[in-house]
Chain A
Amino acid sequence: MMNNAAQTNSYSDIDPDLWQRGVVDTVANLKKKRGALLPILHAVQDEIGYIPPAAIDYIGKALNQTAAEIYGVVSFYHQFHTSPGGAHQVEICRAEACQAMGSRALEAHAKDSLGIDYHQSTSDREIRLEPVYCLGNCACAPSVRIDDKIYARVTPERFDRLVESVRTKSVEVK
């Protein structure tokens, strides 16, 4: 999980504006909330795409907790990542309702066509593949989530088309 720590251990690797907005301002805005840690971690990851190790230190100091305590929380939840991943997150539901509709074949296809396993990103840094246990779309399984959009009745062919379309979109933005 920490294999990218060497490159990202200092905030100097992060664009200063992004650091200011994604970490410094976020912490200042949220730290007065009771139970602020999860809201802070969500906001940091939304802005930066992951939780940089330097942010863990920074958040710890702001909340008067040790970095170990913060890291303990970060590593407990499947939501949070400590290394940069793909530009888009693709989640495949692994839970029972989707299994009953062929999700095992879908996940095998996805890993094969993307050439990666769960928790990994494609070499072009476009797609990070994650498992998810239920998207609440169980009447129209199997389900896939790409960023904040959920797709129903996803066949392997449709999966490839969806992935292709988000890749194309990123190219257009650049």
Chain B
Amino acid sequence: MVKVYVPQDTTSKALGADEIAFAIESYAAQQGIGIELVRNGSRGMFWLETLVEVETDAGRVAFGPVMPEDVDGLLAAGLLHGNEQHALFLGLTESIPYLAKQQRFSFARAGMDDPLSLDYYTANGGFEGLTKALAMNGQAIVDEVKNSGLRGRGGAAFPTGIKWQTVHDAPADEGETKYIVCNADEGDSGTFADRLAMEADPYQLIEGMVIAGLAVGAECGFIYLRSEYPEAHRILNDAIARAERAGYLGDNILQSGRRFVLEVRLAAKAYICGEETALLESLEGKRGMVRVKPPLPAIKGLWGQPTIVNNVLTFVAVPFILREGASAYADVGYGRSRGTLPFQLAGNIQRGGLVELGFGTTLRELMNDFGGGTFSGRPMRAVQVGGPLGAYLPEAQWDTPLDYESFAAIQGVLGHGGVVVFDDTVDMSEQARFSMEFCVAESCGKCTPCRIGSTRGVEVIDRIRANESRQANIALLEDLCETMVDGSLCAMGGMTPFPVMSALRHFGEDFERGE
């Protein structure tokens, strides 16, 4: 019996993994070779997808990137025997430098097995954090998270333990419960870490949310999942059902008498609903309009009750912290950014994928050592870090260490860890225009600087690009951006100027082409 792994995450499927799996099964049946085909999650090395692995005496060996049209030849050349001579042979998967050089805390299990296998999960550290948490009181769990130094991985980097403490200390109304809400509306371009966490290791997210519930005394959780992720939706629903049957969710978690129920709610294609208060409005069945803070969601959140809203990556870091202890997590990192961040290499990049590392590596190391330069082979010119509201960075800034404070110092944001690379064919005035255009499409409309400012921003950039009263319009754009930064309710209007102004400041020549 030969064990073969073909991933089932979105990217692998988008590259033909289903066809490859089908071809392997048909070939084995035809040749009378006994195989066990496992549809694992991806390891996150998307440049090598579809990455087919075969278990051999030496360990798991990999072939990739396998295209559907390669698979017949590969099978004939002895894929199932781990043929080392084949051009797509990559050696032991664990030894591929891209993977070997990472520090995987939250993605250690990603791609190892069928993501829905509870046996695999529990045999590899799964639910150990939960078991420990069940023996602790809420305050002790909150203290452990505080001591780990974990900060919100959605982008704002607020200390998670402090948020949890606030919810822990705030009482729910009579007859109500507190809530645990997972922000899985991963809308930033260039990010896919949440998706991979959900598609490749869904129980880890469930475990993190149950631990949060135990910590603050919440009995109900929601995963607010973007509708652009149909695979994650399917896998999460299946994982929740299995976890319930096995007693990890429900009215009596592992016979402890503690209760936590969890439901996936589908978002509806609105970028603004990644903002936590708009997300809560949406969960309540309303337009995703941003709320004025205070009150903070930690005090009055979902249906007016104390609510933890954390990103997927924040919750998935928690089981490790409980299992291995706060210091094991805090020992890694840089400055006030503790632990690891799963960086995501995307856009025009040779080796795109997920790279989980402790904070502190430089952007250049990440893009060159892991990314291997551009996909087009042309020189890199601009890099947008932290999603559509993140600054465009010119080469002079690529030696900045990847941590929250170092990025803030250059008026950049690390955000959710997305790194989008552009080559020298990019027109940065067009990118600046797009940032404003995106804000027009996605603004909730509640505050004027964002709603009107973005429309005016598109117009002003168009005039600059058309060479109309250039200096006056540049001054106007700067003034408009300042108003948006200072006067918007949330990060949508407040940060849209970051990519715009960074493009203008660092790539001013692109605004001078004229027609």
Chain A residues within 8 Å of B, Cβ to Cβ: 34-39, 41-42, 63, 72-73, 76-80, 95-101, 132-141, 143, 145, 148-153
Contact = CB atoms under 8 A, between A and B. Distances in A.
Interface in B402-449: 418, 420-423, 426, 431, 434, 438, 441-442, 444
Contacts of A42: 227, 266, 268
A34 B222 CA distance: 11
A76 B49 CA distance: 37
Interface of B: 10-11, 13-15, 46-47, 49, 186-192, 194-195, 227-230, 265-271, 282-288, 303, 344-349, 352-353, 375, 384, 388, 418, 420-423, 426, 431, 434, 438, 441-442, 444
B268 A77 contact: yes
Given A41-B268, A96-B388, A100-B422, A136 B46 contact: no
Contacts of A38: 265-268, 282-283, 285
19 contacts: A35-B265, A35-B283, A38-B282, A42-B266, A76-B444, A79-B227, A80-B268, A96-B431, A97-B420, A101-B348, A132-B228, A132-B269, A133-B187, A133-B269, A134-B186, A135-B10, A136-B186, A140-B352, A152-B11
A58 B260 CA distance: 33
Contacts of A98: 189
B349 A139 contact: yes
Contacts of B46: 139-140
Nearest to A78: B269
Contacts of A153: 15
Contacts of B384: 96
B303 A34 contact: yes
Contact of B192 (A63, A76, A78, A138): A138
Contacts of A35: 265, 283-285
B347 A141 contact: yes
Contact of A72 (B287, B375, B423, B442): B287
Closest 10 CB pairs of A and B: A139-B352, A95-B189, A37-B285, A138-B346, A100-B347, A77-B268, A79-B268, A139-B46, A152-B14, A78-B269
Contact of A136 (B13, B47, B191, B345): B191
